[in-house]
Structure 1
Amino acid sequence: MNPTEKGSRILHDGTLNKSTAFTKEEREALGLRGLLPYAVSTQAMQVDRVMGNVRRKTFDIEKYVLLNALQDRTERLFYKTVIQHIEELMPIIYTPTVGQACREFSHIFRQSKGLYITSEDKGEINKILDNWPQTDIRVIVITDGQRILGLGDLGANGMGIPIGKLALYTACAGIHPHQCLPVMLDVGTGNKDLLNDPLYLGYPHPRLEGEAYFDLVEEFVMTVQDKYPNVLIQFEDFLTPNAYALLRKYRDRVLCFNDDIQGTASVALAGVYASSRITGRNFADLKIMFLGAGSAATGIADLMVSAFQEAGLTQEEAHSRLCFVDINGLVVSSRNDLMEHNLPYAHDFEQMDLIQAIDSLKPHVLIGATGAPGTFNQEVIEHMSANNDRPVIFALSNPTDRAECTAEEAYKWSNGKAVFASGSPFARVDFNGYNFKPGQGNNAYIFPGIGLGAVACCASKITDPLFLTAAKTLSEFVSEQDILEGSLYPPLKDIREVSLQIAVAVAEKAYDFGLAGNERPDNLKQSISDYMYDPKY
């Protein structure tokens, strides 16, 4: 290869390219002389240039496309920019903008990231994995696109979720991008609009279901164990029955977790822990009601059962503190339309609607995980406020336009009494002389740290006590200033430190429980910190 070919190849390799930051000496040695403008930029200057370009864009989806292209072109600059401006850019590279990006995925597609496995690849998944250029894969995020955020079945367009989640693994927890693999299990779609879209890039057939579906997942999971023996598999945005079936099947067999069930549970539990510092009510005394009874809500409840038991309650007492309302009303034992994961929370109450349940059962905390916007209407918030001096309201559905209520609505309808958190970001709210800072219960506070801790100690599996530990660690990061502003989560700017502390706590538990596959280092925190990817050059 002559120097010119070498230089051109470097400029077109996003993992090597520093663009205008190559020094004069590097340009001479690498065959780059004349291929770049004269001036040499520092990485800080490049970050400023990127942010200037981002801020000139009118629409968030344009910013998403710009940053996506930057990731392809100059990987380290992308991560340096995201890390330094995480509060501004997380809503762009992930929720809520990733929802629109998934809707439009086939129309804004530029360059492929990750692997696509279809029904036609049965028996040949090993060959597919052989095509991936990296061999030391530590984290896989996989989806089948059937339940993307609160948007439903987006088929192969759901690939935006694994791509976005893994970008957060790197930016928030320092997992090296070369050790991350996004996977789309493209088994078709039930979305007729996509099947009729000539630009749709996915497998253009109805969804694979039943035994054939689970056989394909089994082949993938088992092939991955042979190919990448130290890998963590994160299941993402699967339809509730499949999500639970896969978690039950694999949680004790391989290193894996379901972020919608377990990650959401941990971040919500952390917020509830923190809320006690505002309300003055002990965690063990709380009564919690859920609107929505899918995988996210039930996952939160399952982890809260463990948390209540740790606080001294029996399992029966813990279940009695948790109740659900779904589209058919209060989940009660007399109903015959419940799924298996709902049964532990089906109590011997009379059938009621949401308002009746709030007035009768008087929950201290109301958690929404419905994907249905506006379900926490003025009547709901007012009834919660009538029964609580400081009602705790979690509107967790994503993206923002799917939230059960907005921050402003919660504060206004409760006359400033609400302790509010959401899944997507909301701006500060001025009300009655107070400046509230709504906390964002984003799973990004949990899953990167969980993953980092599991990878660092070569964990064999991830158990509920590890998610409890993560929740407690996160809640302890909430400062007194955060509490004064009404926020149940720390600032996103601290998320790398949060992830490091969660990783250390999770790894410590894994060593204590005999789940770790390597020896405990003398200085665990320093060892994990040294592992974390730093994109500077």
Structure 2
Amino acid sequence: MTCYSRQMRLSASLIKRLKRTAAGASTTRSFTTTEGHRPSIVHKRSIDILHDPWYNKGTAFSMTERDRLDLRGLLPPNVMSSVQQIERFMVDLKRLEVNARDGPSDPNALAKWRILNRLHDRNETMYYKVLIANIEEYAPIVYTPTVGLVCQNYGGLFRRPRGMYFSAADRGEMMSMVYNWPADQVDMIVVTDGSRILGLGDLGVQGIGIAIGKLDLYVAAAGMNPQRVLPVMIDVGTSNERLLKDPLYLGLQEHRLDGEEYLAVIDEFMEAVFTRWPHVIVQFEDFQSKWAFKLLQRYRNTYRMFNDDVQGTAGVAIAGLLGAVRAQGKPMIDFPKMKIVVAGAGSAGIGVLNAARKTMARMLGNNETAFQSARSQFWVVDAQGLITEERAHIDSEALPFARKVKEADRQGLKEGASLVEVVKQVKPDVLLGLSAVGGLFSKEVLEALKGSTSTKPAIFAMSNPTKNAECTPEEAFSTLGENIIFASGSPFQDVDLGNGHIGHCNQGNNMYIFPGIGLGTLLSGSRIISDGMLQAAAECLAAYMTEEEVHGGIIYPSISRIRDITKKVAAAVVKEAIEEDLAEGYREMDARELRKLNQEEIEAYVHDNMWRPEYPTLVFKND
């Protein structure tokens, strides 16, 4: 299940051999898709084409196409290449963005979002060209942290409809509603109910911005076809009193449904989308903890679905933890020996705990004894302090990680002990923050980490958006010095420690994991998304970094390499699905053919099925 090493990248000659026709190459197979090369048939002409972002090329329409599609005279006469178009757009972007002063860390973040969104509205191909070419700069704009600001202001920013809205008022109508979406094929849906948007709480229908941003990353990182993705908001009301009183709020102005009424809406939605698109993958995003686990367990063995907050966050965290083991000069097999203090017991925190425990158990023999033994490595602190079995009304999901009273006593700790006390007494190798409480890792907490038994303790301040990070890299490095490993959920700048030394800020972004999980599931045709497939994704990401990088404190790669990372993660997911006998194939590649592929061929298969933003030749045909 480990990722293919960097040295196993296919050579140009091997890729060429893999792309030959079967007649010309007896030892390899061709997996090349032709979607981007054959003409696209369109049933509209003239101004209607220019108003359709799926087909609009703007000034890049050739003169032949202008004649064929009745566009002559509707565009300036100079035919521009896509490269020229992007250059012109970037000049405009740099000029316009300086007029705004808003955003969480980039003072022009919301201005950039507006400009990119306008491009998305009129020309999808060019939008994704820009996004892919500048992914390191624009991923924080189309997704976290700027997307949080977008969601908070979505009512005022809303212009062109994007995605679908299923509401409590649509009960009994969803099976017919789903056919209102124009695409006959949908590969990926990201759905939210707006109840827990990042660390911002209940934003109701405005949470659709999360689903839109996430799918932009699916297209940019995983090469999902943008015409086959669908952002969805399930509007079951809101508990946000400000929105209930806001006359400009776009959603249902009634209190959020709960209990069986809530489940009935989600059940109806799931049945409707899987009836129309039986092979779709549904990613649940930013559901409150109360429902995140329940819905995951309710659907995961029936539908192709996963929850990114629970499983994606866990995968990225596990990869980072395994990377931290390597950075401390130990083999990854030593992971079960790490002492980990976890701040936060919501859906993300519990998701990471469950995944880390399973990873440790697998390394210890993957039996019940190993599984029970692994729990002793975790100390969990929530808003009420250390969780022990003495806790009244303990959440059922957190119960397996509650410390036994005798265990806590031996460590000199009691139920409800503060985070500072726990860090002082446990002396952890890792301090992991998934609390959504900005500044939780105070100077006192960081000072306590100086007592860690590790020579290079790791601090994971993973909460989003930026203002909710448990601490900043500057705070961590200034308090503890350069011999630490630092990771965050939102992007921060590296810290100049002087004398040529750099304190690396590793962004543990779910973007490293979820696109590969989605793409790998799609291309394997797996019936479900298994724990093994998720584990394969995490181990692949952990193995991606070189020894030199991890020893220098770099445990996550640069976002600029996201297409290559996703390709390898997806290939690892496909391989695991094959090994678990879950793969059923994709299009012409049936399960039998998949099982014949070696590792290099799986990676080539993934590469050849990643969509690329190229203008297709358009041919008009009457209905």
TM-score of the two chains, using structure 1 as the length reference:
0.97
In the alignment, the residues of structure 1 paired with residue 70 and residue 504 of structure 2 have an alpha-carbon distance, to the nearest angstrom, of 51
Aligned residue number for residue 143 of structure 1? 192
Q: Does 1:213 align with 2:262?
A: yes
Shift of 1:481: 5.0
Instruction: Provide the residue aligned with 1:108 in structure 2.
Output: 157
Structure whose alpha-carbon radius of gyration is higher: 2
Q: 1:172 aligns with which of 210, 221, 231?
A: 221
Distance 1:184 1:482 in 2: 40
Task: Indicate the residue corresponding to 2:478 in structure 1.
Answer: 412
Alignment of 1:445-456 (within 5 A): 445-456=512-523
What's the offset of the Cα at 1:377? 1.0
Which of 602, 612, 615 is 1:524 aligned to? 602
Q: Secondary structure at the match of 1:117?
A: strand
Q: 1:499 aligns to what?
A: 566
Structure 1 residue 487, shift from structure 2 partner: 2.1
Residue 397 of structure 1 corresponds to which residue in structure 2? 463
Partner of residue 80 from structure 2, selected from 41, 49, 54: 41
Contact 1:290 1:369 (C-alpha < 8 Å) held by counterparts: yes
What is the correspondence of 1:467-506 to structure 2 with a 5 Å cutoff? 467-483=534-550, 485-506=552-573
3-state SS, counterpart of residue 169 of structure 1? helix
How far apart in 2 are the matches of 1:54 and 1:221?
A: 40
Indicate the SS of the match to 1:487: coil
Cα offsets for 1:263-286 (capped at 9, x unmatched)? 000001001111112212431211
Specify the alignment match of 1:366 in structure 2.
431
- 1:371-413 CA-to-partner distances (Å, cap 9, x unmatched) read 1100011111111123242110001111111111111111111
1:426 is the counterpart of 2:503: no
Distance in 1 (alpha carbons) for counterparts of 2:544 and 2:553? 14
The whole-number CA distance in structure 2 between the counterparts of 1:85 and 1:40 is: 24
**Could you say what secondary structure the match of 1:303 adopts?**
helix
Give the aligned partner of residue 135 of structure 2.
86
Amino acid at match of 1:525: E
Q: Deviations over 1:176-227 (max 9, x none)?
A: 0111111100011011111111211111111011100001111111222211
Question: What residue is the counterpart of 2:395 in the other structure?
Answer: 339
2:110 maps to 61
Q: Give the drift of 1:524.
A: 2.5
Bigger Cα displacement from structure 2, 153-162 vs 276-285: 276-285
Q: Residue type matched to 2:572 in 1?
A: A
Which amino acid in 1 is paired with 2:274? Q
Match in the other structure for 2:528? 461
**Aligned counterparts, 1:2-13, within 5 A:** 6-13=45-52
Distance in 2 (CA, whole Å) between partners of 1:385 and 1:420 is: 14
Tell me the distance in 2 between the aligned counterparts of 1:230 and 1:131. Answer: 18
273-282 vs 400-409, which moves further:
273-282
2:443 aligned to which of 378, 384, 391: 378
Give the 3-state SS of the residue equivalent to 1:482 in structure 2. Answer: helix
Other structure's SS at 2:90 match: helix
- The one-letter code sitting in structure 2 at the alignment partner of 1:295 is S
Aligned residue number for residue 29 of structure 2: none
Report 1 or 2 for greater relative contact order, CA contacts < 8 Å, sequence distance ≥ 6.
Answer: 2
The one-letter code sitting in structure 1 at the alignment partner of 2:491 is P
Deviation at 1:26, TM superposition (A): 2.1
CA contact (8 A) 2:486 2:504 kept: no
Question: Over residues 18-71 of structure 1, what are the superposed CA-to-partner deviations in whole Å (9 max), with x where a residue is unaligned?
Answer: 111112222222222221122222111222222223333032111111111211
Number of the residue aligned with 1:199: 248
1:435–1:485 CA contact under 8 A, matched in 2: no
On the 8 A contact 1:232/1:255 being kept in 2, the answer is: yes
Asked whether the equivalents of residues 394 and 420 of structure 1 are also in contact (C-alpha less than 8 Å), the reply is yes
Q: Which residue pairs with 1:302 in the alignment?
A: 354
Shift of 1:485: 4.5
CA distance in 2, matches of 1:273, 1:47: 39
Q: Which of 9, 19, 25 is the equivalent residue of 2:64?
A: 25
**1-structure distance, mates of 2:502, 2:87:** 30
Query: What are the residue-to-residue correspondences of 1:151-170 with 2, within 5 Å?
Result: 151-170=200-219
Structure 1 residue 442 and structure 2 residue 509: aligned?
yes
- Secondary structure of the 2:431 match is strand
Among residues 383, 387, 397, which one is paired with 1:327 in the alignment? 383
Give the Cα separation in 2 of the matches to 1:139 and 1:124: 22
2:338 to 274, 286, 293: 286
TM-aligned CA distance change 1:165 to 1:365, over 3 Å: same
1:481-527 Cα offsets, whole Å, 9 max, x none, are 53354221011111111111111110111111111122143432222
Name the count of aligned residue pairs.
Answer: 534
User: 2:94 is aligned with what amino acid?
Assistant: R
Q: Is the 8 A contact 1:482 1:489 kept in 2?
A: no
Supply the distance in 1 between the matched residues of 2:155 and 2:143 (Cα, whole angstroms): 17
Indicate the larger mover: 479-488 or 50-59: 479-488
Does the residue aligned with 2:350 lie in a helix, a strand or coil?
helix
Mark the CA change 1:483 to 1:52 in structure 2 (over 3 Å): closer, same or farther: farther
Unmatched tracts of structure 1, length 5 or more: none
Could you say what secondary structure the match of 1:431 adopts?
Answer: strand
Work out the percentage of aligned pairs sharing the same amino acid: 41
Mapped contact 1:436–1:485 kept (Cα < 8 A)? no
Whichever residue aligns with residue 108 of structure 1, its letter is: L
Return the alpha-carbon distance in structure 1 between the equivalents of residues 399 and 336 of structure 2: 22
Q: What amino acid is aligned across from residue 459 of structure 2 in structure 1? A: I
The one-letter amino acid paired with 1:211 is: E
2:549 alignment partner, SS class: helix
CA contact (8 A) 1:54 1:63 kept: yes
User: What residue in structure 1 maps to residue 611 of structure 2?
Assistant: 533
Partner of 1:513: 580
SS of residue matched to 1:341: coil
Q: Which residue of 2 aligns with 1:95?
A: 144
Q: Which moves more between the two structures, 339-348 or 24-33?
A: 24-33
Distance 2:176 2:249 in 1: 25
Q: For 1:89 and 1:19, how far apart are their aligned partners in 2?
A: 22
Q: Give yes or no for contact 2:517–2:569 (8 Å, CA) kept in 1.
A: yes
Q: How far apart, CA to CA, are the structure 1 residues paired with 2:549 and 2:337?
A: 23
Give per-residue Cα distances to partners, 1:98-128, cap 9 Å, x unaligned: 0000000011101111110111111110121
Q: Would you say the 8 A contact 2:336–2:377 is kept in 1? A: no
Distance in 1 between the 2:66 and 2:358 partners?
58
Q: Distance in 1 between matches of 2:92 and 2:444?
A: 44
**Kindly tell me: are residues 55 and 483 of structure 1, through their superposed partners in 2, closer, same or farther at Cα, counting changes over 3 Å?**
farther
Output the CA distance in 1 between the equivalents of 2:465 and 2:135: 18
CA separation of 1:536 and 1:479: change in aligned 2, threshold 3 A = farther
1:125 corresponds in structure 2 to 174
Matching residue's letter, 1:339: D
1:268 aligned onto 2:320: no
Conservation of the 8 A alpha-carbon contact between 1:416 and 1:432: no
SS in 1 for 2:516: helix
